[in-house]
Structure 1
Amino acid sequence: MDNAVIAVWFLPLFWPSCAAPVSETFTVSVRSPVSVQRGHVATLPCWLTSSQSAEDMEVRWYQGGAQKETSILLYKGNGVDYTSQKASYAGRISFGLKEGTSGGLKTGDISLKLQNVTNEDTGKYTCFVSSLADYDSASVSLIVRETGRPPLLSATMKDDDKVNVSCESEGWHPKPELRWSDRREALTSADVSFSKTSDGLYTVRSWLLVPSSSEVSCAVGFASEVPKEIKMQLKNSLPEESGSSSAGWVAFGILLAAVLAASGALYFLYFRRKGAQLMNSPDDIEPLLSKATWSPAALSEASEHYVNVQLVDTGNQWIKIRGSKLRDSGDANPPDGDRVTSLTAVRGSPGFTSGQHYWEVSLARSYSDPKKSWWIGVTDKQQIPDDKSLSPTINNGFWFLSSCPNQERTVQVNTDPEVYFPLESRPKTVGVYLDYDNGKLSFYNVEGKSLIGSLAAKFTGELFPLFNPGKGDQSPMVVLQRPEEVQSNNAIPEGQILNAVSIR
């Protein structure tokens, strides 16, 4: 009897030691989806709604909707177990915080932090938590975004007073949206197609048939972000036929006035009816896209073809040449007045009949603002005509980019009619890239690491660099020289390594 009494008396004292360490149930909560730019850090929020500590629990993160043997992150026994971690996530995974004030595991925050996110990381991630008393899980969708380049626009004339306008943008992930519109309403494209590169990025292409006098806009982007947009104004005004130039032709003229709503720049092409193969049906759009919307060379690629250009001093009284520096003479009474004409133009040496060639021109000095008046390009003239009435157009053997002195952020190309488009600021250094064999002339803003614009033509005969310092500027125009050993190594001096840019 006494032994029985003693046993009953001590039973309550030992009962607590037989209870489970955690008796409270819990629920796992998440925020989904999570969107992040490629190369950045992603935090996948996951937490216990009861806010109880997860330090003594087992936490397992794995990719997909069903548990797999290989974990991304496994936490148990108060520490992270890396032995079963998926190899592609090694060194990139840790616990994160769902918000700045979170207390981490102590407060049930078991969020996942993923560094240097790649396109392959896109997908569903499951957060699984278990204790002796309960378990639960929830999934988070991760969307890895790569913002692509601003759209490229090109146009080809049809015979029935219509224009096929194409739009292309590359470097996106996942697939972006492409939208056409005019001043009044959204427009429906005949087709939107996608292609995927080896690195998993998408290129989107589309085309639209519009009247030859209209304004269209192409916007590419993600639904939750401001798209990259470019507008094209088409005017039904063709230049007079004036025969073929000895150094090239243009197949027809369309005025492209770019109004850039995002960080875009205008890519432009010109075709003249004579000698051109015009599009006759929408089925011809692929040749247009593959030929017309070619991707201009990256500045680093173009720079590999650097050539030291020398100014040819012909004793022109209206300009001053000192070495590689060029400026107007400052004469108060030039015969062409305030206009900038070929009287102040000079060619460079050497000339080119084939190959790829690149040179740079400085338009600013440390003590003054960038020049407001200038021409930079190429010409087929061995001697610049001493004629103030000469129209320096493509049909007359001139291809150049020039400033608009009265419009601080606008430059133009000497097509007929002229093309005007805006810049964020006046360029301090302009790079010129001549791809003679492929008939392409590109202009780059060197400091801005961006393409200003590209012109397509069919070159024949010898072409020479063209310069014009304009009028009324304190800063000279300077043709920059690069040491020969740097050229021979196809290298860019330190501090001038530039990223590949299409039309930003």
Structure 2
Amino acid sequence: MKLIFLTLLIVSGIADSISEQYEVVGPADAVYAVAGEDVILPCSVKPNISVVDMRVEWFRLDLKDSQLVHLYEDHEDRNTDQIQAYSGRTKLIHQELQRGDASLKLSSVQVSDGGLYKCFIQSRSWYDDATVNVTVEAIGHPPVITVDGFDHSGGIHLQCESKGWYPEPDLEWLDSEGVSLSPETTKKHRNRDRFSVKHTITVHHRDSKIHCRVKLRRHMLEALIIISSNMFNPWRKSVILILFVVVLSVIPGILIAVFVLKNRAHGRLEKEKRRLMQAHNRLQDEHSHLQDEKRRIQHECDQHLRSLETIIPKALMHFRTHSGE
């Protein structure tokens, strides 16, 4: 009995000494990744020992449901219970496991990959873990500067917009000397997991360069517009342009109105013509009917007259005969 107890103490002491001797180490700072690119999540055992025969598990700490990101056990990857969004995108470099490196390669990074990860390594005699904080950035489209009209004093309204960023970037206006200019209006919009930003500014300087710069940590995109003197006399050009546009707008309207009225008048005339033709045809039919009726009556009268011409002489003769008797 004493021998068994002594053996357990020795084994426990060895396990404790191993646990104190080795540790799982992760990065001291957050790991930054760019959406669409690949990233390595560092994790290793110090001092370096092979983890080929150990269990290596990567999982998310900030998710409530299924948390498994990648599992290596019994010399193979076992990802049947892996989060669906990570399917086919995680990999351990097996050659590096010999040197105690259990870093996870994550391919085609998505914005949703940002979060808190744990690297857990376990052998028969010890285990340890390290935490890795992943921050994902999405680089948006280059900013676009547009002229958005003029104010009453002749200043030029400029608008700068950039889309597709994560997290929300900083947008600033700079003059030709690199001095920051305060925007008059600032708008932002979030579409699913991306941000769009839009700033407007009014410029009164002549012959100057105006920069629009969008920054997100170490990423920066910039656009430039050159403001010339002839852009600051908009009134005459605007009036001429407005008159020209009005004329172009009114003339087709007048032509269309004339065409419509002409068509309507022509339509009314055609309708009246058809009505008169129908009335004329009805009168023609009635006239023809009256002519037929006239001929019928005339025929009947002629027949009656001929009958009378036959009957009257006979009646006279009969009358004379009876009178002589």
TM range (shorter): 0.5 to 0.7
Aligned residues of 1:151 and 1:219 also touching (Cα < 8 A):
no
Q: Sequence identity, in percent?
A: 23
Aligned residue identity for 2:140:
T
Match of 2:40 among 38, 43, 47: 43
- 2-structure distance, mates of 1:68, 1:238: 63
CA 1:128–1:67 in structure 2 vs 1: closer, same or farther (change >3 Å)?
farther
Aligned residues of 1:29 and 1:49 also touching (Cα < 8 A):
no
Deviation string 1:316-340 (CA, Å, 9 cap, x unpaired) is xxxxxxxxxxxxxxxxxxxxxxxxx
- 1-structure distance, mates of 2:213, 2:187: 15
Q: Does 1:230 align with 2:224?
A: yes
Q: How far 1:104 sits from its partner (Å)?
A: 0.9
Give aligned pairs, total.
238
Residue in 2 aligned with 1:64? 61
- 2-structure distance, mates of 1:167, 1:177: 12
Residue in 2 aligned with 1:216? 210
- 2-structure distance, mates of 1:60, 1:188: 50
Aligned residues of 2:186 and 2:200 also touching (Cα < 8 A):
yes
Match of 1:193 among 179, 182, 187: 187
- 1-structure distance, mates of 2:147, 2:200: 9
Q: Matched residue of 1:30: which SS?
A: coil
Residue in 1 aligned with 2:317? none
Aligned residues of 2:113 and 2:134 also touching (Cα < 8 A):
no
Residue in 2 aligned with 1:163? 156
Deviation string 1:252-298 (CA, Å, 9 cap, x unpaired) is 5xxxxxxxxxxxxxxxxxxx24676xxxxxxxxxxxxxxxxxxxxxx
Q: Does 1:109 align with 2:104?
A: no
Residue in 2 aligned with 1:139? 132
CA 1:183–1:212 in structure 2 vs 1: closer, same or farther (change >3 Å)?
closer
Aligned residue identity for 1:111:
S
- 2-structure distance, mates of 1:461, 1:170: 41
Residue in 1 aligned with 2:314? none
Aligned residue identity for 2:83:
K
- 1-structure distance, mates of 2:81, 2:103: 19
Q: Which runs of 5+ in 1 are unaligned?
A: 1-6, 98-102, 242-251, 253-271, 277-394, 398-457, 463-504
Aligned residue identity for 1:217:
H
Aligned residues of 1:61 and 1:127 also touching (Cα < 8 A):
yes
Aligned residues of 2:150 and 2:234 also touching (Cα < 8 A):
no
- 2-structure distance, mates of 1:111, 1:83: 20
TM-score of the pair, normalised by structure 2:
0.61
- 1-structure distance, mates of 2:76, 2:17: 18
Q: How far 1:197 sits from its partner (Å)?
A: 2.4
Aligned residues of 1:22 and 1:133 also touching (Cα < 8 A):
no
Q: Does 1:177 align with 2:170?
A: yes
Aligned residues of 2:214 and 2:221 also touching (Cα < 8 A):
yes
- 1-structure distance, mates of 2:167, 2:130: 27
Residue in 1 aligned with 2:285? none
Q: CA RMSD in A?
A: 3.6
Q: Matched residue of 1:120: which SS?
A: helix
Q: How far 1:460 sits from its partner (Å)?
A: 9.0
Aligned residues of 1:163 and 1:211 also touching (Cα < 8 A):
yes
